Amino acid sequence: MLNATLEDGGAERDMRSPAYAALFGSVVALGLPFNAASLWILVRRHSLKCPCVIFMVNLAVSDLLLVVTLCMRVYFYTTGVWPLGNMACVWTTMLFRNNIRSSSIFITFISVDRLLAVVYPLRSRHRRTASNACRAAVVVWLFVVAMNVEEGLEFSAFLKDYNGSSCFEFREQPPQGSVMAYCQPVLVLTMLAVNIVSTALVSLTLRTRSKGSAGIKNKVNVMLIFAMNLAMFAVFFLPVSMAVFFKGGWSRSRTPLICLASVNCCLDPLLYYFSFDGFWKTKEDVDTSNTRE
C-alpha cells in the first residue's frame, strides 16, 4: 500500500515539467499578440471580399483558440494538478486537435487559392469569390466539430474510469476509435499531397511564363508562401498526428511533439505577411488589386 502511494506521488511529481511549462508559455506569449494583431489587421485593413483573406481570418481564429488551451497546459505543467474537471479537459484536448485539423485545411485552401490566381487567373475568377470562401469555411468548422462528437464521448468515458488528477499526461494511453484513429493522419496526408501538387504547378507556371506576362509583382513571396505551407505540414502537423493517434513507439515523444506542433500558431502571421504585397495597406488598395486580377 505504501509503495502504491509512493508510486502515485512520484507520478504526480513527474507531471510537473518546468520545461513544458516554459515552452507552452513562450508560445502563448508570442502567439497571442501576434495572432490578435494579425486578426485585427486582416479585418480592419483588408477587404473580406478576398477569399484568401477570409481563409486567413479563420486560420487566425483557430490559432487564438489554440493559445487559450495552451494557457491551461502552462498551469498544469507548472503545478502538476488539473483542477478544472473532466469536461474542461475534454474541451481543451478537442480544441488542440481542432487546431491541427482546421489549420491544415485552411492553409491548404490558401495554397489552392494562390494556385488558381497564378495558374488559372481568368478561369477561376468566378469561383474565387467571398461567398464560396465563406461556405468553405463553414463546412470546415462543421467538419472539425463533428469529429469531436465521437472523440469527446470516448475521452470523457476514459476520464471517468481513470483514477488520477491529470489531464494531459496519463499512465495509460487513452483509447482511440477505429475510424478516428486514422482520420487525422489521413486528413493531414491528403492536405499535404494537395500542397505538394499546388507548389509544383505554381513553380512550373512561374518558370515557363515570360517575365513580362507573369503578372506577379513578387515571385519570391509567392514561392515562399508555398514553402512555408509545406514546412508547416512536415514539421508541425504530420509528426504530431502520428504520435497522438497511433500507439507504440510514438507514445514517448507525444508530449514533445505537441509542444512542437503548438509553435505553428506563432509562424502563421508570417504567412499573412508574405501573402500580400503590402500587409499594412488599406482596404481600398486591396479592392483595387482584386479588381485588377
Find the radius of gyration of the CA atoms of the chain. 21
Higher pLDDT: 179 or 115? It is 115
C-alpha cell at 182: 486514422
**This prediction's pTM:** 0.83
pLDDT of residue 205: 86
Q: Are 246 and 212 in contact (CB under 8 A)?
A: no
Quick: pLDDT tens for 222-265: 888 888 899 999 999 988 887 765 654 455 677 888 888 999 99
Q: Where are the domains of the chain?
A: 2-292
Domain 2-292 = CATH 1.20.1070.10: yes
* pLDDT of residue 171 exceeding 60: no
pLDDT confidence band for 192 (50 / 70 / 90): very high
* pLDDT of residue 13 exceeding 90: no
Quick: pLDDT tens for 23-67: 999 999 999 999 999 899 888 877 788 888 899 999 999 999 999
Chain mean pLDDT for the chain: 79
Quick: pLDDT tens for 25-37: 999 999 999 999 9
Residue 104 buriedness (CB in 10 A; 0-12 / 13-18 / 19+): buried
* pLDDT of residue 89 exceeding 70: yes
* pLDDT of residue 5 exceeding 90: no
pLDDT confidence band for 136 (50 / 70 / 90): very high
Please give the Cα distance from 257 to 249 (Å, whole number). 13
Higher pLDDT: 280 or 73? It is 73
